Amino acid sequence: MKVLISDKMDARCVEILQENSGIEVDVQTGLDEAELVDIIGEYDALIVRSGTQVTPSVLEAAHKLKVIGRAGAGVDNIDTAAATRGGIIVMNTPGGNSVSTAEHSFAMIMALARNIPQGTASLKNGRWERSQLTGVEMRGKTIGILGLGKVGSEVALRANAFGMKVLAYDPVVSSEVAETFGAQLSEPEEIYEAADFITVHLPLIEQTRHMISDAQMTSCKQGVFLINCARGGIIDEAALLRNLESGQVAGAALDVFEEEPPTGSQVLAHDCVICTPHLGASTVEAQKSVALQIAAQVGDVLMGRVIRNAINAPSVEPEIYAKMRPYLELAERLGRLQAQLSEGRLERVTVEYHGDVTYPTSVMTSAVLQGIMSSVTGQPVNAVNAPVFAQERGVHVDELRSSEHEDYAALITVIYQTDKERRLLAGTLFGKSDPRLVRFDEYTFDAIPQGHMLFYVNRDIPGIIGHIGTAMGDHEINIAQMSCGRHKVGGSAFTILNVDGPVPQKVLDDVRSRDYISWAKYASL
In DSSP notation, 290-318 reads HHHHHHHHHHHHHTTS---SBSSS----H
In DSSP notation, 380-436 reads ---TTTHHHHHHHTT-EEEEEEES--SS-SEEEEEEEEESS-EEEEEEEEETTTEEE
CA torsion 451→454→460→461, rounded to 10°?
-110
**What is the b/e burial string over 463-493, where b = at least 16 CB atoms within 10 angstroms of the residue's CB?**
ebeeebeeebeeeebeeeebbbbbeeeeebb
Task: Using alpha carbons only, give the angle 236, 240, 241 rounded to the nearest 5 degrees.
Answer: 125
Distance, in Å, from the CA atom of 291 to the CA atom of 294, rounded to the nearest integer, reads 5
Reported as type and span, the H/E element at residue 9 is none
Select from 393, 361, 397, 365 the least CA-distant residue to 379.
393
Distance, in Å, from the CA atom of 109 to the CA atom of 313, rounded to the nearest integer, reads 36
Task: Using DSSP bridges, classify how beta strands 45-48 and 67-70 pair: parallel, antiparallel or unpaired.
Answer: parallel
| 231 carries an active-site annotation | yes
Q: Which of 15, 35, 259, 260 is catalytic?
A: 260
Residues near 64 by beta carbon (within 8 Å), at least 6 away in sequence: 41, 42, 43, 44
**Do 211 and 187 touch, CB atoms closer than 8 A?**
no
Half-sphere exposure of residue 90, counting CA atoms within 13 Å on the CB side? Answer: 23
Distance, in Å, from the CA atom of 200 to the CA atom of 208, rounded to the nearest integer, reads 10
The DSSP bridge partners found for residue 315 are none
Task: Using DSSP bridges, classify how beta strands 410-418 and 346-355 pair: parallel, antiparallel or unpaired.
Answer: antiparallel
Burial class (CB in 10 A: 0-12, 13-18, 19+), 308: middle
Distance, in Å, from the CA atom of 113 to the CA atom of 224, rounded to the nearest integer, reads 11
Distance, in Å, from the CA atom of 199 to the CA atom of 23, rounded to the nearest integer, reads 42
| DSSP conformational letter for 442 | T
Q: Which of 70, 104, 201, 231 is catalytic?
A: 231
Q: Which of 104, 201, 278, 354 is catalytic?
A: 278
Distance, in Å, from the CA atom of 310 to the CA atom of 367, rounded to the nearest integer, reads 16
Handedness of CA 324, 329, 330, 331 (dihedral sign): positive
- Catalytic center residues: 231, 260, 278
